[in-house]
Structure 1
Amino acid sequence: MKAPPRLQSLIEEGLIDTVVRQLMSGKEAMVFVVRCGDETRCAKIYKEANNRSFRQAVDYTENRKVKNSRSARAMAKGSKFGRQEQEAAWQSAEVDALYRLAAAGVRVPQPYNFHDGVLLMELVTDANGDAAPRLNDVSFTPEDARTHHATLVAEVVRMLCAGVVHGDLSEFNILLAHLPGADGQEGHDGPVIIDLPQAVDAAGNNHAQRMLLRDVANLRDFFGQFAPELRSTQYGPEIWSLYQSGLLSNETALTGIYAPAHADVDMQAVLREIDDARDEDAARRLRMATTA
């Protein structure tokens, strides 16, 4: 097919050879299948901010660091240059998250290059070599649902231990891919997490807890359609509680059970509040009697 204008510069730079077809068009980007030498990859073209339905909500961009102080000041002022820099920072957030998570062993597409607003990365495929389906397009047996749910909960933990919360995780941005086996073993189907431009810093974003709980709840609700017992699990609160306590690691054994800790009641403080209220009421009654 004819290369879109946004991919032409990558062809001129020799980063891709040909454009095979459009793979999808989503809320923030269009994705194309491309050929790079002997390899088939995908190119993600980010839509301009005014053409996206997904807004750069302040909840997601909170505390994102910008190395260039001039850019940071312009973004704070909201100037034209600042908006351009904010757009560039939004796009590069996914690139940074992919490299960070891939290094941590999280199942995400392997990034290869980011050029002129286009992310060149691995094409995630099924057993036939075709583009892998999203979870929402697949039905599961109860056993498979439990297996994939456990895998994804472990991936959420691995992401959190790497300091990242996806922020928009659901069955719509997880692919069911054919993953190679280790040490010559036969491959198997497994989830791969995609779409990370809204990923947030777990320690630096005040909304990280709420986003993580929502991510895990989305997994619970989706797989709970096929394995109903998953609907009663509480992995999200359990994970965040362990994280806050400094007890979470990739090897932490989770139970899916969470009982919030209740702080001990300070009875002396409660009694003081009661006495103060009683004294205040007595003083009020005395004032009323005096003015009657």
Structure 2
Amino acid sequence: MKTPPRLQSLVEEGLIDTVVRQLMSGKEAMVYVVRRGDETLCAKIYKEATNRSFRQAVDYTENRKTKNTRQARAMAKGTRFGRQAQEAAWQSAEVDALYRLAAAGVRVPQPHNFLDGVLLMELVANAEGDAAPRLNDVAFTAEEARAHHATLLTEVVRMLCAGVVHGDLSEFNILLAQDGPVIIDLPQAVDAAGNNHAKRMLLRDVGNLRDFFGAFAPDLLSTDHGPEIWALYEQGALTPDTALTGQFKHAEGPVDLGAVIREIGDAQDEEMMRRLRMQQ
């Protein structure tokens, strides 16, 4: 196929040879299957992120460092330069997270390069060598659901031990490769220690996994891994090899009404994004 303009610089730099086909087009990015020598890779071209609300963006970007004070001031004022800097920071956050998590042994696509707003990375494939499907496109037996759920909990723990929370983990951004699930889409990843919303996002990520696989294995619906994982993390007792029980005794006390309202708002945002992804 004809090389899209945004990929031309990668061809000129010798990072890719040819563009095979378009793999996916969403509101945040377009993904193409490309070739480099004997390798088949994928190229993710970022779009302007118009589907993120300001509140969501603030939650995810809290405590992210900017290159200089000029950028920080421009981003705070919402100037054109500031918006460009903010979008560049959003894109580089995924690149940084991928390199960090791949080094920690987390099952994510192996990044290869990042140039002109295009992320070149491993193509996650199924047993036939084709692009792997998302979890939401696959049906599982109860046994398979429990196995994949356990695998992904291990990956969430490994991510947290590396200091990262995905922030938007669900069946829509996990691929089922030949050798098991692979986590994708990390521009909203947050620093576990530096973001005040990290706990809430971790609990939501783990809850999404429970709810999805619980549709195939109902016994998973009674588990409570999220609070257990976060409590161990706060205690400094969490390691990638920590044995989880799925049980947690919640402390009794006054209800934080503000937190409840915030959770409702987050659930509404999540449902809206879920519907958008299903439409895509």
Alignment TM class, shorter chain as reference: 0.7 to 0.9
Cα RMSD (Å): 1.2
Q: Does 1:193 align with 2:183?
A: yes
Structure 1: segments with no counterpart, 5+ residues: 180-189, 264-292
Map 1:187-266 onto structure 2 (within 5 A): 190-261=180-251
Distance 1:257 1:121 in 2: 37
Question: Given residue 166 of structure 1, which amino acid in structure 2 is its aligned partner?
Answer: H
Distance 1:207 1:44 in 2: 27
Question: Given residue 175 of structure 1, which amino acid in structure 2 is its aligned partner?
Answer: L
- Which deviates more from structure 2 when the two are superposed, residues 5-14 or residues 38-47? 5-14
- Which deviates more from structure 2 when the two are superposed, residues 254-263 or residues 240-249? 254-263
Tell me how many residue pairs correspond in the alignment: 251
Name the SS for the 1:14 alignment partner.
Answer: coil
**Aligned residue number for residue 53 of structure 1:** 51
Q: Does 1:87 align with 2:87?
A: yes
Question: Given residue 159 of structure 2, which amino acid in structure 1 is its aligned partner?
Answer: M
**Aligned residue number for residue 65 of structure 1:** 65
Q: Percent identity?
A: 81
Distance 1:109 1:205 in 2: 24
Distance 2:41 2:178 in 1: 16
Instruction: Check conservation: 1:27, 1:54, Cα contact below 8 A.
Output: no
Distance 2:99 2:11 in 1: 23
Name the SS for the 2:244 alignment partner.
Answer: coil
Cα deviation code 1:5-56 (max 9, x no counterpart): 111111111111111000001231010000111101000000023xx32346
Q: Compute the displacement of 1:242 (Å).
A: 0.9
TM-score (norm 1): 0.83
Instruction: Check conservation: 1:28, 1:54, Cα contact below 8 A.
Output: no
Name the SS for the 1:57 alignment partner.
Answer: helix
Structure 2: segments with no counterpart, 5+ residues: 254-280
Cα deviation code 1:245-292 (max 9, x no counterpart): 1111111110000002458xxxxxxxxxxxxxxxxxxxxxxxxxxxxx
Distance 1:78 1:130 in 2: 42
**Aligned residue number for residue 41 of structure 2:** 41
Question: Given residue 206 of structure 1, which amino acid in structure 2 is its aligned partner?
Answer: N
Name the SS for the 1:209 alignment partner.
Answer: helix
Distance 2:252 2:212 in 1: 31
The structure having more radius of gyration, on CA atoms, is 1
Name the SS for the 1:243 alignment partner.
Answer: helix
Question: Given residue 41 of structure 1, which amino acid in structure 2 is its aligned partner?
Answer: L
Cα deviation code 1:122-156 (max 9, x no counterpart): 00000000000000010111111000000000110
Q: Does 1:24 align with 2:14?
A: no
